[in-house]
Structure 1
Amino acid sequence: MQLNLNGIDTRYVLDNEGGGPWLTFIHQLGGDLSVWDQLAGYFRDDFTVLRYDVRGHGASAVPRSPFSIKDLADDLAKLLDALGAPHTHLVGMSMGGMIAQQFALDHPTRVATLTLADTVAATAPESRAVWDQRAAAVRSGGMAALAPATLSRWLTADFQAAHPEAVEQIREVLQNTAPEGYALACEALREFDVHERLNEIRLPTLTVAGRHDTGTPPSATQAIANSIQGAQYELLEAAHLAPVEESHRFAALLETFLETRV
């Protein structure tokens, strides 16, 4: 399904067999809504599950001008408005976790619970150049050159060897991401910083990190939990895409977390 949000044609998938509370998943940089296929299948009998492609990713249009994480959070607000969802449980991974944090700060009454996986509350000054380099790399050479290093950060070697079909799907989505959409998102991530506002979040919060995540150290995700009153922190045996690599464990954690708050 497609909707125009803030001038951007946006793809979304809604699974509402259960007709229960809304549960929204937000994907990572260089991903799309398909990264949540397994988890959506797990939760759709009890929740109204929403997934969508962030602007510039998947089948959503590439904008013609720069945008911020705040703009991406506003896209989500417009999507929920269009679908008639007053509030939702919110799950974000990596870039999706940044969007989820921003959304929770901008629209706190619309978030029932907040789940943040493998993410940060701010881009450190020493890391800003990395995002500029990645943006420049894909603008000059396309997405293929980034794929090997990206996948090695996203998934452990053991997982890649044991689940080649899952890895190939993730690789294909990454390589098919529009270079300009990816580059603009890199520049948005470069500017992201909400760490001084995290104590404003008064929502039930679950944070999850991968022990073997070299791109986003677990300490960064744990720092978010430490800054949000009552937040829960869990460490999984995974790399950056912990909800994918440890999908059964992540689903169990999320199910337990949601059960106590629905």
Structure 2
Amino acid sequence: MPDLLHHRLHGDAARPPALLLIHPLGATLDLWNGCLPAWTQRFTCLALDLRSAGASPPGKAPGLDRHVEDLETLRIALGIDAIVPIGCAMGGMVAAAYAARHPERVSALVISNPTPRSSEAGRAMLTARAEVVRAGGMAAILPAAVERPFEAQPRDARYDRYLDAFTAQDAQAYAEAALGFASADASADLARVRCPVLLVAGRHDLLLPLEQAEATRALLPPGARLEIDEVGAHFLPYQCPETFAARVLNFLPQAASHTRTLENGR
């Protein structure tokens, strides 16, 4: 049996669709904890650690192909038939790739802090960061690695928890994860997505600014929605969990109605 990603299943795997929660680079499945109280009342939720993150198995620079393969292996093992991938930042590219490659399983797609690909500047930054971390550990990229994603956010207990968790990561695993995302490009996958899509961008996101969200929407079929959170920055599900969770709950019934309309027209 293949190594499964570390995960937490909240609810019944047989109750479709399950929300598949895909964290960004530098985080773990705990990123979604603030959203779960709202979502688990109505949906089964599957939160996971991507390969080379959290308690999941390590991998050599895992890219989109490997991440999608891991997600499908986990879905099959748990017996989940229908899912709604919800990804944040780099995890959003994984969510889009899964939706495009397994359309028969996906009824809707949500991406927070979206980007279609790692830019040239982003690729250089992540490659350099991996080298620095390998040599000097996680502390070598602090505080900038946490300060920038938390632009205009309070330095409160939530910030402290993220900083502590980020610092405690395995440096070698983080370096591999960063290298995997350095060359990630979901552009072709985004163009093949056919389910309803919600994009949510953060007004204060310095790493993936609004232009990246617009570029993502331009690749999607007409009808993809783009909403802007005026308060949050780079990690909307973590920084503004109540607002983000409400946006998703508002979107999903509309997405289900749209999906039924499409199916009836076939």
CA distance in 2, matches of 1:20, 1:189: 30
Say how many residue pairs are matched.
Answer: 253
CA distance in 2, matches of 1:31, 1:222: 24
Bigger fraction of residues in strand: 1
Shift of 1:59: 1.4
Corresponding residue of 2:213: 221
Corresponding residue of 2:259: none
CA distance in 1, matches of 2:61, 2:145: 23
1:71 to 66, 70, 73: 66
CA distance in 2, matches of 1:105, 1:217: 24
Question: Structure 2 stretches of 5 or more lacking a match?
Answer: 257-266
CA contact (8 A) 1:207 1:222 kept: no
Q: Secondary structure at the match of 1:66?
A: coil
| Correspondences of 1:36-185 after superposition (within 5 Å) | 36-63=32-59, 65-160=60-155, 164-185=156-177
CA contact (8 A) 1:70 1:103 kept: no
Corresponding residue of 2:7: 12
| One-letter amino acid of the counterpart of residue 139, structure 2 | A
Deviates more, 1:214-223 or 1:192-201: 192-201
| One-letter amino acid of the counterpart of residue 71, structure 1 | R
Relative contact order: is structure 1 or structure 2 higher (C-alpha 8 Å, sep ≥ 6)? 2
CA distance in 2, matches of 1:148, 1:156: 12
CA deviation profile, 1:209-259 (whole Å, cap 9, x unmatched): 111111111110122122212100011121101222222221121111012
Deviates more, 1:132-141 or 1:183-192: 183-192
Tell me the TM-score normalised to structure 2 length: 0.89
CA contact (8 A) 1:147 1:171 kept: no
Tell me the TM-score normalised to structure 1 length: 0.90
CA distance in 2, matches of 1:46, 1:150: 35
Residues 32, 158 of structure 1: alpha-carbon distance in 2 compared, 3 angstrom cutoff = closer
CA RMSD of aligned residues (A): 1.8
| Correspondences of 1:24-39 after superposition (within 5 Å) | 24-39=20-35
CA distance in 2, matches of 1:235, 1:60: 32
CA distance in 2, matches of 1:93, 1:158: 17
2:249 to 232, 255, 259: 255
CA contact (8 A) 2:16 2:81 kept: no
Identity of aligned residues (%): 30
CA contact (8 A) 1:90 1:115 kept: yes
